[in-house]
């Protein structure tokens, strides 16, 4: 009887060891295949998404550059404009530019988007406070001078901070 159990054990134990080894090898093969599929999908997604993300970075950089007072005032100010007209035109232009690019937030980090929004809001505050200190009928050129002087007085403007963050993010993106 004891010999019978020993014979069964001699057959069963190696069979169980082979079964266990086969299970481990197949499990590892399946895991590797799954990892390879994941990386292939990620690689294919990156081929499509990376150009879109780079375009988003470019558009946000353009938005920030166009919001700089020097650029903004050159585009918006027209001859014969008064302070009130320039004030309203500046705010409308900033709002339009921002709304035109609002969808880009999908492709950039939350931090960069918050810096971009902060840059817009700080510029709007600068324009509003500068216009509030002047009579509406005064020539628009006077408001332009005040805006540029106040903007130049700030060392690290929110627009410059957002542009620096954008450049850092693009460098780390590669």
Structure confidence at residue 145 (pLDDT): 96
| CA–CA distance, 107 with 173 (Å, rounded to integer) | 11
Read off the pLDDT of residues 67-117 as tens digits, 9 standing for 90 and up: 999 999 999 999 999 999 999 999 999 999 999 999 999 999 999 999 999
Q: How confident is the model at residue 30 (pLDDT cuts 50, 70, 90)?
A: very high
Read off the pLDDT of residues 31-65 as tens digits, 9 standing for 90 and up: 999 999 998 888 887 788 889 999 999 999 999 99
| CA–CA distance, 159 with 19 (Å, rounded to integer) | 65
The residues, any chain, with a CB within 8 Å of residue 142's CB and separated by 6 or more, are 83, 134
| CA–CA distance, 137 with 131 (Å, rounded to integer) | 11
> Residues 8-17: what's their mean pLDDT?
88
Please tell me the pTM assigned to this model.
Answer: 0.76
What is the percent of the chain where pLDDT is above 70? Answer: 99
Q: Using the 8-state DSSP alphabet, how is residue 82 labeled?
A: B
> Residues 7-17: what's their mean pLDDT?
87
The residues, any chain, with a CB within 8 Å of residue 2's CB and separated by 6 or more, are none
Structure confidence at residue 174 (pLDDT): 63
Q: How confident is the model at residue 1 (pLDDT cuts 50, 70, 90)?
A: confident
């Amino acid at each position: 009887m004891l010999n019978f159990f020993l014979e069964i054990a001699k057959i069963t134990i190696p069979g169980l060891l082979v079964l266990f080894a086969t299970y481990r090898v197949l499990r590892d093969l399946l895991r590797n295949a799954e990892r390879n599929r994941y990386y292939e999908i990620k690689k294919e997604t990156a081929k499509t998404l990376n150009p879109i993300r780079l375009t988003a970075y470019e558009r946000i950089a353009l938005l920030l550059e166009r919001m700089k007072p020097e650029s903004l005032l050159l585009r918006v100010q027209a001859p014969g404009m008064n302070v009130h007209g320039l004030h309203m035109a500046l705010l409308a232009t900033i709002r339009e530019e921002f709304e035109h690019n609002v969808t880009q937030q999908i492709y950039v980090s939350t931090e960069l988007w918050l810096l971009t929004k902060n840059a817009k809001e700080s510029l709007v505050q600068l324009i509003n406070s500068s216009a509030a200190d002047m009579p509406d009928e005064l020539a628009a050129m006077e408001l332009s001078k005040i805006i540029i002087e106040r903007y130049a007085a700030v060392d690290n403007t929110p627009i410059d901070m957002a542009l620096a963050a954008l450049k850092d993010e693009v460098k780390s993106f590669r």
